[in-house]
Structure 1
């Protein structure tokens, strides 16, 4: 079909508008994922080893936040950053930082929950031994998180794929401004409504490759952690 041929020509030909949008999407989602991991991995690891009153309610809340629609997160961030909001003085609305903040809040529960589950299981398996050796909750969280690092890498990859594929939050707080806050998902929605199907399809193809590739890497990381695959070929001893 001509539309598919035109879309492939845009991807293969290095169309400037296409690849600037792709680069911006990766920058926004990468920054958000990095911030979410910086905050969420330590919190998830800590929750995996500690026991306190109200922990069950907190874990239930974090599980529930996984289902929050991205457009709701975008609305909350919009209210925070609007002129009358508590963070309005920052002047971030309809900017790169606003999109990063929205996506950080969106994927933070993903990182926290996956890290907590991995470390919690490791705590059941090895926590008693570490306690006998005198390791407190903080040290156990750190050691067990390192032991489950491949699972945590998988969590980071899944969080990035969740961020880069969402449309609601960045549309609300970014405004979809061409050359400034337009990312792959918002560009696909706009170009489809305008009837520019080759560009929309080309962006969709790149987005699909990114998301599928990240899920494949996450699955590979989990298999590696379980000893089912080697990261590189091993030479047989002479």
Structure 2
């Protein structure tokens, strides 16, 4: 066990080509999917928080349900859509990073929307009253709300990025964990551990832990600024 940790540290220091490729693919997929999910989920969550009709209430329930969808179900849906007999096979997204991004966006967007809805709902009444007093439109009111919870938006993005980088089920089904192409840290840890290659698995695990530590520190700093 100790030897495996020593070899993992040596692998990290050496700048191994495969290790570097896995980390870069992971970052490329996670950053792209979390940014797209934020771009879709942020206005969606704001709209859900501002709405007061029964339809909006039903959509909130649907979104909260989608927040708990198992990743493998999302991966299965994307696989069926992109495979050789699927309706979107012409896009040729199966076993590509782009296909993995699509799966991640479907998985993360409800989480972004749900968190934004929770944050904005606490501010919407006060901001709406102010907006009516100065004659702002609904769009400008929504922008004012987003400005008021800008720190929370950053926190939501960090949550989305953390969710993307930790995902296994959907990305393994859609990406196939192909070496030097679609293999990301979580799928690589699982694959190399099953092969008995604990050195690479431990090295990737250390990188993941450091990334999550960085994310948690960033979230804590943002929350501290909000509290002030």
Give the deviation of 1:54 after TM superposition: 1.2
CA distance in 2, matches of 1:54, 1:215: 36
d(CA) in 2 for partners of 1:19 and 1:225? 36
Q: Does 1:149 pair with 2:150? A: yes
Q: State the alpha-carbon separation in 1 of the partners of residues 138 and 86 from structure 2.
A: 38
- CA shift at 1:22, angstroms? 0.6
- In the alignment, what sits opposite 2:226? 225
Secondary structure, aligned partner of 2:182: coil
Give me the whole-angstrom Cα distance separating, in 1, the residues matched to 2:64 and 2:216.
21
Match of 2:86 in 1: 85
Rounded Cα–Cα distance in structure 2 between residues aligned with 1:132 and 1:125: 11
Output aligned runs, 1:11-160, within 5 Å. 11-160=12-161
> Given that residues 48 and 59 in structure 2 are in contact (C-alpha distance below 8 angstroms), is that contact kept between their aligned partners in structure 1?
no
Tell me what 1:163 maps to: 164
Q: Distance in 2 between matches of 1:30 and 1:155?
A: 13
Alpha-carbon deviation of 1:176?
A: 0.7
* Gap regions ≥5 residues in structure 1: 228-238
Which position in structure 1 is the counterpart of 2:216?
A: 215
The normalised TM-score by structure 2 is 0.96
Deviating runs (4+, > 4 A) in structure 1? none
The alignment covers a number of residue pairs equal to: 227
| 1:37-77 CA-partner distances (Å, limit 9, x unpaired) | 11111111122212223111111111111111111110011
Flag the structure with higher helix content.
2
Q: CA RMSD in A?
A: 1.1
Gaps of 5+ in 2: none
Instruction: Classify the secondary structure of the residue corresponding to 2:54.
Output: coil
Distance 1:120 1:219 in 2: 22
Match of 2:3 in 1: 2
The farther-off stretch of 6-15 and 152-161 is: 6-15
